[in-house]
Amino acid sequence: MSPANDPRLRRRTTPEKAGTPEPAPSSTPQPTSGSTSKVLLGVLSIAFSAYVVYDKFTASTDHTQAPLPDAYALCSREGAHPQIYTVDPENPRAQCLLVHGDKFLSAGSLDHVQSSWHETSAGRLQVRYLEPGQMVVPGLSDSHGHVLEYGATKQMPLEGTSTIEETVARVRAYIEADPDILSDKSKYVEGWGWDHTKWLLEEWPTYNAIEADPVLAGRPVVLQSKDGHALWVSHAVLQAMDPIPDAVEGGVIVRDSAGRPTGVFLDNAQDLVIRPEPTYKTLQKRFAATVKDAHAHGLTSVHDAGFNPISLEFFRRYAACPTQIRVYGMKYFDETAAYWGDSFRKIIRAGNNRLSVRSVKIFADGALRSGGAALYEPYADNPETRGFMRVSPELLKDVIPKFMADGWQVNVHAIGDRANGHVLDAFEAALESANVTALRPRLEHAQILAQKDMARFGDLGAVIASVQPTHAISDMWFAEDRLGPERVKGLYAFRSVLDHGARITLGSDFPVEDLNPLAGFYAAITRVSPEGTSPHGPGGWFPEQRMTREEALKGMTIDPAYASFTEDILGSITPGKFADFVVLSKDIMAIPSTEVLSTRVVATFMDGRPVYGSI
């Protein structure tokens, strides 16, 4: 592919369309340790009965807390509408939940949970009550995120800039704020989140913009794009990479008119970039930053979409420590390495059910935002290309059946309709040698689906669509220009996917999008921006593709549990399952959709103990 024909080298010389808003940050307030006391409820002064008392449960941000009783109940107040959504089809709403140790013992009326407790013990049962308007849901899960990468973005966030110069200024401010980095020009400077599609002049940056700043000039600088599909590096990094190959299969080295690398590397070409490996201490800081934000937003489980060797080793060590988040990891597939599916030992529910690595993550194509999604037909805004596959269809048909025959769940990043079609072909090929239904293969993103391929979800019977609703309201502003008026109807077509028999599980792709699961819930049920707008008006972008609230809640609870083989222990408030649950300030199943994003997480519990907030 020549630079002239590459859609990712296009320059947009006009401002964004009038009336097209920038995505706003989540309106959910960011809790701090100082806010914990503000959400404590008043303490009842009278015991409910001889066997029922009322106590205060708290958790501080450093995870030290007052001891909790071994058993307690949390209830809607007498006479109030049941406020506990169990996501258990046999008992969908309950007045109370009962925790004993680290598990749910019962859910139902107060009389029912009291009876359940008395059958187990003659001891006293403590009862707490929800405030009016609050609700309880099972612990929330994000089915597609990047744990350590999110933590890295907290160090130098680059999202939200409108020009190359503004982005460079943020990097300079970061350097100037750190005396160690400022005084040592040999230290690598890394950041994440720049998005050229949001700049007033939509163009790829170059190393010249970095070298033009006197503080940055001469330093090794590596900046990751918002979607994770591009790296922007300084001249010092380019020199360290010399010699740079002419081309990389499944990637692009952006070059100037003279053929010289400009400092931007896309998709597989990113592997050429040299940067130091982070220390274990650095990874610990990144992990802690992610966990803190995850708990503040009600997340108790995350699916990490791509363990490279460094992150895999970190999480092996992590599993041996007492930690407060459940991680389902996907081991990264390197197409240049030898097949390892028959030799690598899977990790299943290690570290007190905190870590599993029993799936492989394969990248089939690039991203729509950067023009790398593999399409059946050429891009509408650049007919010279139809994107590219990062892994050939032949290799997919070879390795996917092998991994599945060796008992691996196979999760494939597939954005374009052509990429999704090739992956479905490989899943069908696996039917000859593996029990596909038992292995629950996943299409990660499943963004653009041709009608002929949507129908194959039902035929295969077990393929999971792992989707990110916030991508839909981010991409809706440019999607039709890129895909055309007909093909765009297959983009983020959640309702069509469900109607064709697929199971949908929701994620955010953090740090590409906000990790707040309520942002995904809102996007799934409204298909409008946080400001209430869309290219099709306030009714939503292709509103016929909206999910119901019940479907969206399942997509954040029981369906991610199913997609990670943990539905027997997680995903619903069901007796015998681990007592992971979240208290929300509003009932998101009943309030107007405009209030969803202002809903706060009051408390997050894991194994029956608070890891954030209080009740």
Which residue(s) pair with 191 in the sheet? 223
DSSP 248-294: -TTEEEEE-TTS-EEEEEEEGGGGG---PPPPHHHHHHHHHHHHHHH
The label of the residue with tokens 């009550």 reads 129
- What order of strands is seen across the sheet that includes strand 135-138? 93-94, 84-85, 135-138, 581-584, 601-606, 609-613
Cα distance between residue 508 and residue 381, in whole Å: 27
Each residue of 191-214: pLDDT tens digit? 988 989 889 888 899 999 999 999
CA atoms within 13 Å, Cβ hemisphere of 157: 10
Higher per-residue confidence, 69 vs 16: 69
Query: Where does 31-138+570-615 sit in CATH, by number?
Result: 2.30.40.10
Q: Is the pLDDT of residue 501 over 90?
A: no
Taking domain 148-272, whether its CATH number is 3.10.310.70 is answered by yes
Kindly list the distances between the CA atom of residue 66 and the CA atoms of 36, 102, 452, 563, in Å, as whole numbers in the listed order.
14, 16, 57, 35
Min mean pLDDT across 141-155, 319-333, 392-406 is at 319-333
Stretch 282-303: mean pLDDT, rounded? 96
Q: Is the pLDDT of residue 294 over 90?
A: yes
Output the pLDDT for position 369.
83
Q: Is 460 left (phi over 0), alpha (psi -120 to 50) or beta?
A: alpha
Same fold, 31-138+570-615 and 148-272: no
Stretch 140-157: mean pLDDT, rounded? 92
Q: Cα-Cα-Cα-Cα dihedral of 470, 472, 478, 483, to 10°?
A: 150
**In which band, very low, low, confident or very high, does the pLDDT at 27 lie, cut at 50, 70 and 90?**
very low
Each residue of 510-519: pLDDT tens digit? 998 999 999 9
Are 432 and 469 in contact by the 8 Å Cβ rule? The answer is no
Output the pLDDT for position 322.
63
Residue 139 makes CB contacts below 8 A (sequence gap 6+) with 298, 299, 300, 301, 557, 570, 580, 581, 582, 604, 605, 606
Output the pLDDT for position 67.
64
Output the pLDDT for position 37.
36
Strands of 24-156, DSSP E: 52-53, 71-75, 84-85, 93-94, 96-100, 103-108, 125-129, 135-138, 140-145
Q: Is the pLDDT of residue 36 over 50?
A: no
Rg (CA), the chain: 25
Structure tokens at 364: 């089939």
Length of the chain: 615
Stretch 169-173: mean pLDDT, rounded? 96
* Percentage of the chain lying above the pLDDT 90 cut: 74
Are 114 and 52 in contact by the 8 Å Cβ rule? The answer is yes
Cis omega (within 30 of 0) for bond into 29? no
Q: Is the pLDDT of residue 39 over 90?
A: no
Each residue of 418-455: pLDDT tens digit? 999 999 999 999 998 899 889 999 999 999 999 999 98
Q: Is the pLDDT of residue 258 over 60?
A: yes
Distance of CA 482 to the CA centre of its chain: 24
Q: Is the pLDDT of residue 20 over 50?
A: no
Cα distance between residue 381 and residue 366, in whole Å: 17
* Percentage of the chain lying above the pLDDT 70 cut: 88
Higher per-residue confidence, 286 vs 80: 286
Output the pLDDT for position 55.
42
Q: Is the pLDDT of residue 171 over 80?
A: yes
Please, is 67 exposed, middle or buried when counting C-beta atoms within 10 Å of its C-beta (0-12, 13-18, 19+)?
exposed
Q: Is the pLDDT of residue 159 over 80?
A: yes
Min mean pLDDT across 38-47, 158-167, 513-522 is at 38-47
Stretch 328-352: mean pLDDT, rounded? 94
Q: Is the pLDDT of residue 35 over 80?
A: no
Are 266 and 252 in contact by the 8 Å Cβ rule? The answer is yes
∠504-509-510 over CA atoms, to 5°? Answer: 140
Each residue of 104-122: pLDDT tens digit? 999 999 999 999 998 888 6
- What is the overall mean pLDDT for the chain? 88
Cα distance between residue 364 and residue 552, in whole Å: 27
**In which band, very low, low, confident or very high, does the pLDDT at 26 lie, cut at 50, 70 and 90?**
very low
Output the pLDDT for position 153.
86
Min mean pLDDT across 29-43, 225-239, 395-409 is at 29-43
∠548-550-555 over CA atoms, to 5°? Answer: 95
Domain chopping of the chain, boundaries: 31-138+570-615, 148-272
**What is the pairing mode between strands 230-233 and 464-467?**
unpaired
- What order of strands is seen across the sheet that includes strand 71-75? 52-53, 125-129, 71-75, 96-100, 103-108
Output the pLDDT for position 157.
82
Higher per-residue confidence, 55 vs 150: 150
Higher per-residue confidence, 414 vs 152: 414
Q: Is the pLDDT of residue 53 over 70?
A: no
* CB atoms closer than 10 angstroms to residue 450: 18
Residue 369 makes CB contacts below 8 A (sequence gap 6+) with 195, 197, 226, 227, 229, 475
Each residue of 1-13: pLDDT tens digit? 433 334 333 333 3
